[in-house]
């Protein structure tokens, strides 16, 4: 009986202690949230720290890949006019990124970091603009929430790639900020905002052809705003339409792109579109749901900012929400256009959508929680896991401890480097990606026996891909030490050689062509590398 009474007294005491701890946690969160909201410099420091950990630090871990090497070599052309010629005939992009990289090389030595610097700056600017765009309508903490969405997104790795996608995002952020200020400020005081629109719009459109789709979202938004106001803002429309003159640089890239052939697996499809939106929203939704569940539990505790949640915070206007939704439709529009032209679609083509998603996430959380600072802080803490992923942290911790060496017989991975296998035989790369990357990473002694073979008819027949058939045009322009030869000429001279490739990779045709020609392929094993290929074959052609 006495034992029962003691248990009855202990249960209320334990529940009381837990409630007190929970209330203190909620109060502490309110204190931190209020402090951060009143101290934007502290938020800016956290923002810089997140950018460094999530993006900038990762830049050193990955060597330049095929497309980035194009940027590096074109930006180092012997003269500016030669660079512009190579842009029009080799890489088929507007010129801005190459110009910025070339200017960077005048200050810093050409390197992996310096060629990626415009992208790092562009993504950093995009994150700052996201923060400021959202902060103007809600609070600094909600701006941080939106910035974390962008930093932890599927697109974050493009921040340290020497390609124009992050640059487009940075100029898009500046353009959105200029537009937001221009539609809210008095006519006489908005000239800086209008000039910002013109500058950033030119920057967008001169960075990548598909930036025009994101810019079209802004034009459509302003058209809807005009209908709602029943009055045309002539000055703003002039500033929005003048930068469209930059689209004249698209004529040659579009013509060359439409003439190319792309593997069916890479061509735009409904399946790819669903995958693109899944990659965008799944990580955000998972982390956000966890944050909102905790917010819901904490709502049982009275909030210190309950009375002042909506004071002085106007919230997002209808045109701003339309703009964000329009940006989220960029992957849909690009995929539909590419489906019609049977062109290849990759997730990076829809990258501007992450700016719209960041705005929508902050707007939805603010609406659901009545702009609660506590909710913004809790959701931001959850989204930190998108920036500093637990799996990457676990891998780093694992690297601190010695691991037993893998047994090749059990793993199937060869202990011999691929550069030392049958050194008397030619070494053929089946992929143009691997061939160009090898020429930037391997030693000259090995590259003297490395080949890439071309055959336009076989490339179309076996892979429906002609992207690497222009490799001979790069010899003499890019620092290529390997050999580029036509397939028929090579097999006349070499009846036995090695092939480094992946049989079922959509763009690679060589291994399938060799089997069709009656060659004998002997699989030598898996050879770990920094390239997309790991499989090595010994090929023998019948005499």
Question: Domain for residue 454, yes or no?
Answer: yes
Q: Is the pTM of this model over 0.75?
A: yes
Number of neighbouring beta carbons within 10 Å of residue 401: 6
388, 422, 453: which is the final residue of a domain? Answer: 388
CB 276 within 8 A of CB 331: yes
Distances from the Cα of 182 to the Cαs of 230, 245, 426, in angstroms?
A: 17, 21, 63
Give yes or no: residues 368 and 419 share one domain: no
Give yes or no: residues 175 and 233 share one domain: yes
Q: Structural domain tally of the chain?
A: 2
Give CA–CA dist 7/13, Å, rounded. Answer: 10
CB 315 within 8 A of CB 174: no
Number of neighbouring beta carbons within 10 Å of residue 380: 25
Give CA–CA dist 326/330, Å, rounded. Answer: 7
Which residue, among 173, 231, 219, 227, has the nearest Cα to 200 in the 3D structure?
Answer: 173
Give yes or no: residues 460 and 345 share one domain: no
Residue in the structure block whose two tokens are 């047994």: 407
**454: β partners:** 486
Give CA–CA dist 375/381, Å, rounded. Answer: 10
Which residue, among 406, 512, 388, has the nearest Cα to 462 in the 3D structure?
Answer: 512
Of the chain, the end-to-end C-alpha distance in Å amounts to: 98
Give yes or no: residues 341 and 472 share one domain: no
Tally the residues of the chain: 543
Give yes or no: residues 181 and 225 share one domain: yes
Give yes or no: residues 348 and 215 share one domain: yes
Which residue, among 121, 217, 133, has the nearest Cα to 173 in the 3D structure?
Answer: 133
Domain extent at residue 353: 121-157+170-304+312-388
Please give the structure tokens belonging to residue 357.
């998603």
Q: What is the pLDDT of residue 29?
A: 65
Q: What is the pLDDT of residue 30?
A: 67
Please give the structure tokens belonging to residue 200.
């950033």
Question: Domain for residue 73, yes or no?
Answer: no
Give yes or no: residues 435 and 378 share one domain: no
Name the H helices within 60-139: 66-75, 80-86, 96-107, 112-135
Please give the structure tokens belonging to residue 153.
């997104």
Mean pLDDT, 10 residues at a time, over the chain (543 residues)? 52 53 62 70 72 70 90 94 90 91 94 93 93 91 90 88 94 96 81 94 94 96 94 93 90 65 83 89 82 68 49 78 96 92 88 95 88 82 72 51 52 74 94 94 94 93 87 92 94 94 91 93 89 93 80
Question: Domain for residue 383, yes or no?
Answer: yes
Buried (b) or exposed (e) across 149-164, using 16+ Cβ within 10 A? bbbbbbbbebbbbbbb
Please give the structure tokens belonging to residue 288.
């956000």
Give CA–CA dist 84/82, Å, rounded. Answer: 5
Give yes or no: residues 249 and 376 share one domain: yes
CB 541 within 8 A of CB 518: yes
Number of neighbouring beta carbons within 10 Å of residue 476: 8
> In a 10 Å sphere around its CB, with 0-12 CB exposed, 13-18 middle and 19+ buried, how is residue 137 labelled?
buried
Question: Domain for residue 116, yes or no?
Answer: no
Give yes or no: residues 341 and 220 share one domain: yes
Please give the structure tokens belonging to residue 536.
């090595």
Contacts of 450 (CB under 8 A, 6+ apart): 426, 427, 428, 429, 435, 438, 439, 442, 481, 482, 483
Contacts of 353 (CB under 8 A, 6+ apart): 280, 327, 328, 329, 330, 331
Give yes or no: residues 341 and 230 share one domain: yes
Contacts of 347 (CB under 8 A, 6+ apart): 154, 155, 275, 276, 279, 331
CB 198 within 8 A of CB 244: no
Give yes or no: residues 374 and 428 share one domain: no
CB 378 within 8 A of CB 29: yes
325, 355, 388: which is the final residue of a domain? Answer: 388
Please give the structure tokens belonging to residue 368.
């659901």
Question: Domain for residue 175, yes or no?
Answer: yes
- Coil, strand, or helix at residue 269? coil
> In a 10 Å sphere around its CB, with 0-12 CB exposed, 13-18 middle and 19+ buried, how is residue 27 labelled?
middle
Residue 514: φ, ψ to 5°? -60, -45
Question: Domain for residue 92, yes or no?
Answer: no
358, 388, 418: which is the final residue of a domain? Answer: 388
Question: Domain for residue 191, yes or no?
Answer: yes
CB 288 within 8 A of CB 282: no
Contacts of 363 (CB under 8 A, 6+ apart): 134, 137, 138, 315, 316, 321, 324
Number of neighbouring beta carbons within 10 Å of residue 77: 18
Q: What is the pLDDT of residue 263?
A: 81
**486: β partners:** 454
Question: Domain for residue 42, yes or no?
Answer: no
Give yes or no: residues 429 and 464 share one domain: yes
Please give the structure tokens belonging to residue 245.
């003159």
Q: What is the pLDDT of residue 310?
A: 45
């Amino acid at each position: 009986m006495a034992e029962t009474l003691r248990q009855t007294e202990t249960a209320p005491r334990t529940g009381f202690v837990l409630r007190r701890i929970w209330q203190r946690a909620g109060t502490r969160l309110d204190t931190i949230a209020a402090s951060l909201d009143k101290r934007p410099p502290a938020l800016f420091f956290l923002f810089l720290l997140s950018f460094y950990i999530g993006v900038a630090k990762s830049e050193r871990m990955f060597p330049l890949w095929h497309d980035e090497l194009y940027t590096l070599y074109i930006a180092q052309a012997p003269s500016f006019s030669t660079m512009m010629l190579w842009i029009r005939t080799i890489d088929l992009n507007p010129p801005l990124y190459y110009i910025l990289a070339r200017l960077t090389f005048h200050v810093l030595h050409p390197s992996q970091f310096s060629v990626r610097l415009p992208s790092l700056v562009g993504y950093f600017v995009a994150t700052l603009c996201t923060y400021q765009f959202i902060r103007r309508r809600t609070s600094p903490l909600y701006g941080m929430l939106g910035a974390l969405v962008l930093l932890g997104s599927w697109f974050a790795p493009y921040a340290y790639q020497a390609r124009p996608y992050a640059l487009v995002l940075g100029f898009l952020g500046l353009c959105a900020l200029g537009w937001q200020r221009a539609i809210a400020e008095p006519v006489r005081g908005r000239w800086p905002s209008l000039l910002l629109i013109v500058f950033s719009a030119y920057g967008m459109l001169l960075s990548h052809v598909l930036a025009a789709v994101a810019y079209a979202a802004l034009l459509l938004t302003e058209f809807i705003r005009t209908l709602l106001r029943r009055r045309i803002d002539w000055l703003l429309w002039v500033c929005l339409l003048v930068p469209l003159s930059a689209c004249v640089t698209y004529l040659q890239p579009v013509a060359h792109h439409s003439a190319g052939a792309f593997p069916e697996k890479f061509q735009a499809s409904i399946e790819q579109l669903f995958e693109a939106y899944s990659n965008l929203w799944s990580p955000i939704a998972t982390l956000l749901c966890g944050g909102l569940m905790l917010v819901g539990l904490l709502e049982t505790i009275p909030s210190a900012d309950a009375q002042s949640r909506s004071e002085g915070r106007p919230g997002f206007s209808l045109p701003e929400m339309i703009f964000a939704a329009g940006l989220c439709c960029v992957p849909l529009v690009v995929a539909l256009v590419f489906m019609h032209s049977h062109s290849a679609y990759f997730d990076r083509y829809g990258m501007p959508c992450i700016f719209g998603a960041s705005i929508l996430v902050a707007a939805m959380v603010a609406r659901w929680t009545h702009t609660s600072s506590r909710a913004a802080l809790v959701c931001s803490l959850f989204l930190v896991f998108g920036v500093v992923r637990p799996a990457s942290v676990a891998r780093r911790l694992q690297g601190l401890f010695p691991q037993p060496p893998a047994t090749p017989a059990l793993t199937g991975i060869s202990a011999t480097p691929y550069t030392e296998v049958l050194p008397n035989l030619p070494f053929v790369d089946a992929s143009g990606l691997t061939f160009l990357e090898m020429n930037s990473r391997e030693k000259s002694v090995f590259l003297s026996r490395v080949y890439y073979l071309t055959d336009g008819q076989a490339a179309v027949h076996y892979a429906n891909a002609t992207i690497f058939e222009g490799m001979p045009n790069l010899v003499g322009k890019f620092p290529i030490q390997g050999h580029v030869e036509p397939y028929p000429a090579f097999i006349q001279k070499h009846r036995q050689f090695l092939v480094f490739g992946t049989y079922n990779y959509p763009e690679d045709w060589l291994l399938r062509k060799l089997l069709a020609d009656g060659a004998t392929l002997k699989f030598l094993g898996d050879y770990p590398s920094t390239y997309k290929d790991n499989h090595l074959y010994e090929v023998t052609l019948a005499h």
